[in-house]
Amino acid sequence: MRRMRLAVAVAALAALAHSGFAQSQEGPILIGASIPLTGGVSMFGQHSRWGAELAAAEANAKGGVLGRKIEIDFQDNRCNPAEAVKSVTQMLAEKKYVAIFDGLCSSAALAIMPLVERAGIPFVVANASATSIAERSGVGGNKWTFKVNPTDASMLDALVGWLDKEGKAGNIAFLGEDSDFGRAGSTGLENALKKRNLKLAGVDFFQKGNADFTPVLTKIKARKPGLLALYAVDADFQNAIRQWYGLGGGVPLTGRVLVDQVPKEIMESGFLDGTTSVQPYDPSVDTPGNKAFVEAFRKLHNVPPILVSFESYEAMKVLIDAIRRAGKADPAAIRDALVTTKMPSMLGTVIDFDDHNLAHNNAIILTIKGGKVVVLGMSKT
Amino acid sequence: MDAGFYLQLLLNGIVIGVIYALVAMGLSLIFGVLEIVNFAHGEFYMLGAMLAYFLTMNMGLGYAATVVVVTAVAVCLGYVLYEALLASLEGGGFERSILLTLGLSMVLQNGAVFLFTTTPRMVQTSQSYVNLVVGDVRVSLMRVFALALGLLAFGALYLILYGTRIGRAMRGVAQNRDAALMVGIDPRAVSRLAVAIGIGLSGLAGAALAPVYAVHPLMGFSFVFKAFAIIIIGGLGNVAGAAVAAVALGMLESVIGGFLPLVMVDALVFSSMIAMLLLRPQGLFGRGVRV
């Protein structure tokens, strides 16, 4: 009797396991995303989600991929490496996801990388810009991580090249948040300047969430730099830019300045004229693909896309394309398909990965002239 | 470095210090009278700033009127907070008060994230981008306004505490709750008023700083921990001590930030707090007579 019960239990477990397997083969294709949905940069997390969801919705509207719908499960990482590890570990334990998406913050993405390598599941980085992500991927060691957006180093090299031509690269002070994002910015600038026998006039870091920048901005102003490279986002950026204006900084900004987030009054005053910024995206890029994207995004959310929305949209399209070409929802097959990606970008290039699994899309060089943002041009990263 | 540089650092420091004092005074008052460390204090500051944003940018209310309305609403919130939550902690329960105010802080912070998202907002007034310039020294008009409000609030609080009967009652309850009860003071009414004034001050701080700093649900976090350091350095529950410590710390931060890396500033603040706890646990101005 006991044997009979055991046999029934085993049969029931097998049936359950089989039904689960059958569901994973026939239900939607699940992608796990770890992004900041709460915390200081959740606005960017929201835009990342909107961008990725739009790409998935477009694919699903065309009948899905391999005859199945694409579904993205978003987990919160608060832009914190420990939370990123927690969220991705949970997703990997469930073994129902075919890939992990984004991370958004560089520190979070770097923390996720060893997990996906151990689990053997592709990780598509859409927004994190730290150069070390690409350095450690592909021939750098981690075969499962693919970085679709350009690195800070490549973007800053393009920017410094342009500044050098204009004779403006000689006296740049740096102020950035004390994180992988800010540190990658200072290292990227230092390396780009070093190539041209130049160096930074000063380097300062601040802690994320710092409200008052007046002491450090007073110090920077007294040094009289030619340009100030500002690596700040969200509330930090708003506080820093207002206080720089309040102190009459008198020096244009450079680096990855969020020109679309400068308060209108400061922008129109001409205070920031001469500012140059390098970004992976600008909504004003004049290509048919971008125009359609901006229109679709605005229709859904009543706001224009920002670079995070664009990067997540295009990175999700890269991942969906790889799933389609893989011919099956299998992580290893998707990884192999990612390696051979050749997908047109909305910025006019073709996205493909180098031996560090890094794509080299165009970067946009912007300037502020007469209180308005002007696209100077695009430069391959 | 010229004299203008040092003067600018000094001015920045005074403004930052008075801003800290505005937040820390309410925290100190509540601790002085109730012996409760209000971990949700920063969230009331944030709510004050959020309400100021809503009134000025969505309802079109003038900024001066906004400051008055926000402070009045914060005072009412203080009453509600005391009656709904803190009154139950009367007569002990220090650990419970920590858990309760920490929990409240999380509820308020995450509630604000849920309702308003973490997108930073800026309160724009007609004076937002006006700067006062004297030689090489510059300061924005809204910072001067926050400085004036901070000084006014300190003056008013000092007058209440040392020039009115209710102030004497507060000091009485702070020194000995049972003895105050025996001489006819109602500790519950006094505590309620202290919480209302304390939360009112944090609301005022929110309204005063909304045009100075970006308004977002996490803005209270950075200030409240510094406020804790300030009230420990100034003497737990000593309002005047908190104000003096705040200004001193603001100036020290500014001067250090002008020469050393900014990331060292917080380390210095909390090192001062630890040193104070080790060398003079009662704080610079003592905690014998608390408010």
CB pairs < 8 Å spanning A and B: 108
Q: For A46-67, what is the mean pLDDT?
A: 96
Residues with Cβ within 8 Å of residue B87, at least 6 apart in sequence: B188, B191, B192
Chain A residues within 8 A of B128 when measuring between CB atoms: 265
Q: For A109-116, what is the mean pLDDT?
A: 97
Q: Indicate the pTM of the whole model.
A: 0.78
pLDDT top residue among B202 and A181: B202
Among A124-138, A305-319, B182-196, B248-262, the minimum mean pLDDT is found in B248-262
Task: Kindly determine whether residue A216 and residue B257, on different chains, have CB atoms separated by under 8 Å.
Answer: yes
Chain A residues within 8 A of B120 when measuring between CB atoms: 43, 234-235, 238
* A296 touches B: beta carbon within 8 Å: no
How far is A369 from chain B, CA to nearest CA, in Å? 20
How far is B101 from chain A, CA to nearest CA, in Å? 20
Chain A residues within 8 A of B223 when measuring between CB atoms: 211
Residue among A40, A222, A238 whose CB faces B218 most closely:
A40
pLDDT in tens, A325-361: 999 999 999 999 999 999 999 998 899 999 999 998 8
pLDDT in tens, A193-203: 999 999 999 99
Task: Kindly determine whether residue A215 and residue B223, on different chains, have CB atoms separated by under 8 Å.
Answer: no
Task: Kindly determine whether residue B131 and residue A246, on different chains, have CB atoms separated by under 8 Å.
Answer: yes
Task: Kindly determine whether residue A218 and residue B12, on different chains, have CB atoms separated by under 8 Å.
Answer: yes
Please, which residues bridge with residue A363 across strands?
Answer: A379
Residue among A38, A42, A265 whose CB faces B129 most closely:
A265
Task: Kindly determine whether residue B131 and residue A204, on different chains, have CB atoms separated by under 8 Å.
Answer: no
How far is A337 from chain B, CA to nearest CA, in Å? 37
Give the Å distances, CA to CA, from A317 to A6, A149, A321, B175, B209. Answer: 48, 13, 6, 67, 43
Q: For A221-226, what is the mean pLDDT?
A: 91
Among A91-95, A117-121, B233-237, the minimum mean pLDDT is found in B233-237
Pick the closest to residue B73 from B207, B190, B189, B167 (CA basis). B207
pLDDT in tens, A273-332: 999 999 889 888 888 999 999 999 999 999 999 989 999 999 999 999 999 999 999 999
Per-residue pLDDT band at A22 (split at 50, 70, 90): very low
Q: Is pLDDT at A261 greater than 60 in this prediction? A: yes
Query: What is the distance between the alpha carbons of residues A338 and A318, in angstroms, rounded to a whole number?
Result: 8
Pair B54, B46: CB distance under 8 Å: no
Round the average pLDDT of chain A to a whole number and report it: 89
Q: Degrees (nearest 5) of the Cα angle A304, A103, A241? A: 50
Say what the pLDDT of residue A350 is. Answer: 93
Which chain B residues touch A if contact means CB-CB below 8 Å? Answer: 1, 5, 8-9, 12-13, 15-16, 19, 110, 113, 117-120, 122, 124, 128-129, 131, 133, 138-140, 143, 213-214, 216, 218-219, 221-223, 253-259, 261-263, 265-266
Query: What is the distance between the alpha carbons of residues B247 and B252, in angstroms, rounded to a whole number?
Result: 9
How far is B6 from chain A, CA to nearest CA, in Å? 9
Task: Kindly determine whether residue A235 and residue B261, on different chains, have CB atoms separated by under 8 Å.
Answer: no
Say what the pLDDT of residue A2 is. Answer: 53
Give the mutation candidate from B145, B218, B221, B223 for the A interface (greatest A CB count, under 10 A).
B218
Pick the closest to residue A172 from A269, A94, A244, A275 (CA basis). A275
Question: What is the chain A residue with the closest CA to B259?
Answer: A219
Residue A343 phi/psi, 5° resolution?
Answer: -125, 130
Give the Å distances, CA to CA, from A56 to A23, A59, B63. Answer: 20, 5, 45
Residues with Cβ within 8 Å of residue B195, at least 6 apart in sequence: B30, B33, B34, B78, B79, B81, B82, B86
Pair B234, B284: CB distance under 8 Å: yes
- The 3-class secondary structure across A90-122, one letter per residue, is HHHHHCCEEEEEECCCHHHHHHHHHHHHHHCCC
Chain B residues within 8 A of A79 when measuring between CB atoms: none
pLDDT in tens, B54-109: 999 999 999 999 999 999 999 999 999 999 988 887 666 778 888 899 999 999 99
Which amino acid is residue A13, in one-letter code?
Answer: L
Q: For A205-230, what is the mean pLDDT?
A: 91
pLDDT in tens, B127-160: 888 999 988 899 999 999 999 999 999 999 999 9
Say what the pLDDT of residue B127 is. Answer: 85
How far is B55 from chain A, CA to nearest CA, in Å? 20
For A356, left (φ over 0), alpha (ψ -120 to 50), or beta?
alpha
Round the average pLDDT of chain B to a whole number and report it: 88
* A269 touches B: beta carbon within 8 Å: yes
Q: What is the dihedral of CA B16, B18, B22, B23, to 10 degrees?
A: 30
Instruction: Classify A365 as helix, strand or coil.
Output: strand
Q: For B2-19, what is the mean pLDDT?
A: 90
How far is A47 from chain B, CA to nearest CA, in Å? 11
* A202 touches B: beta carbon within 8 Å: no
How far is A84 from chain B, CA to nearest CA, in Å? 19
Task: Kindly determine whether residue B259 and residue A39, on different chains, have CB atoms separated by under 8 Å.
Answer: no
How far is A374 from chain B, CA to nearest CA, in Å? 24
Q: Degrees (nearest 5) of the Cα angle B127, B130, B134? A: 140
* A260 touches B: beta carbon within 8 Å: no
pLDDT top residue among A6 and B116: B116
Residue among B12, B118, B218 whose CB faces A214 most closely:
B12
Task: Kindly determine whether residue A265 and residue B128, on different chains, have CB atoms separated by under 8 Å.
Answer: yes
* A38 touches B: beta carbon within 8 Å: yes
Give the mutation candidate from B106, B144, B262 for the A interface (greatest A CB count, under 10 A).
B262
pLDDT in tens, B243-272: 999 999 999 889 888 888 877 887 887 888
Task: Kindly determine whether residue A269 and residue B8, on different chains, have CB atoms separated by under 8 Å.
Answer: no
Query: What is the distance between the alpha carbons of residues B205 and B246, in angstroms, rounded to a whole number?
Result: 14
Chain A residues within 8 A of B1 when measuring between CB atoms: 222
